[in-house]
Amino acid sequence: MSVLESGINIKKFKGKHFLTLLDFSSEEIKELIDFSLLLKKYQKEGVPHPFLSGKTLAMIFEKSSTRTRVSFEVGMTQLGGSALFLSSKDSQLGRGEPISDTAQVLSRYVDGIMIRTHGHEIITKLANYSTVPVINALTDDFHPCQAMADIMTILEVKGTFKGLKTVYVGDGNNVAHSLLIACAKVGIDVTIATPKGYEPKEWIVKEIESICEETGAKFTLTNDPIEAVLGADVIYTDVWTSMGYEEETAKRLEDFKAFQVNEALMSYAKEDYMFLHCLPAHRGEEVTVEVIDGANSHIFHQAENRLHVQKAILVALMSN
């Protein structure tokens, strides 16, 4: 089986980086999701798919991770390639080497670069100086690979994107940004409920509103979780204190206590709602055990899909 026979149009992805879903059309995102589903089918049926045989991915981690490292490393192995783990402590980045120099050096060694870092400007600069594809595995503003796994899971469970309402309850962080963009791109109505002062960045809200005008999706921003969840098909939350904000933990626990995803709040959603969380989760904090471990929870299904969507992205960007 060749990439050409798989159905994905590789040519349209050539020369692209994967920094934010704002850079991709609705059609491109849907095509990547379809390809992810095919790659998942191959894996489940034991069909070899070494589309990246001989290719190497450099993985730069300036923020720790379980799912990101394992899914990318396993994904490259299943695609016939290899992955190199580089932490800031183990590379010259930790000693102050300019990101531009790192980009130009790595571009001469590897076929792609994945980075999990802090400010989004870091990955933008890396991409500007790299001659190989750069993939955003998380920045302070975006988490596009996670969002791709999220909408893939929604499609598998609900069977469609049409007529759905997805609600994010909690902090308007990088996970929320990318989820809202992804849903709006594929035509899912999106609502976000946050405490006052924790809304998504204003410029990202404007981008989402613009996308909704194109796709016909509806976008709602509210500070009332009950209003938000009413009639929802999908409920999503994340930790209240993301990496880098640990000094705000006590304040956030107080500010977010009315935004816990629990059975009382879920009673306002549709009976067959699905619950999602990007993990790791703080059970009893942003979500109760009854919800996250309940029959409507798809968190491990969602986590598995990180592997499949990232394989699709890797092939689209790095395959010949």
CA 143/CA 21 separation, integer angstroms: 9
The CA angle 239-243-247, to the nearest 5 degrees, is 95
8-state DSSP, 2: -
Phi and psi based region of residue 28 (left: phi greater than 0; alpha: psi -120 to 50; beta: remaining):
alpha
Among 238, 260, 308, 310, the one annotated catalytic = 238
Among 69, 177, 306, 308, the one annotated catalytic = 306
Give 173's contacts (C-beta < 8 A, 6+ positions apart).
238, 242
- Among residues 92, 95, 87, the alpha carbon closest in space to that of 104 is found at 92
Q: Is 143 a catalytic residue?
A: yes
Among 17, 67, 116, 308, the one annotated catalytic = 116
Q: Is 120 a catalytic residue?
A: no
Give the rounded distance of the alpha carbon of 38 from its chain centre. 19
Q: Is 238 a catalytic residue?
A: yes
- Among residues 173, 230, 238, the alpha carbon closest in space to that of 199 is found at 173
Among 69, 143, 298, 308, the one annotated catalytic = 143
Among 78, 146, 302, 310, the one annotated catalytic = 146
| β-strand partners of 283 | 287
The CA angle 176-114-320, to the nearest 5 degrees, is 115
In one-letter notation, the amino acid at residue 66 is T
Element (H, E) at 99: helix 99-106
Among 183, 278, 308, 310, the one annotated catalytic = 278
Report yes or no: 127 and 147 within 8 Å, Cβ to Cβ. no
CA 153/CA 299 separation, integer angstroms: 9
C-alpha Rg value of the chain to the nearest Å:
19
Q: Is 146 a catalytic residue?
A: yes
The residues assigned a catalytic role are 116, 143, 146, 238, 278, 306
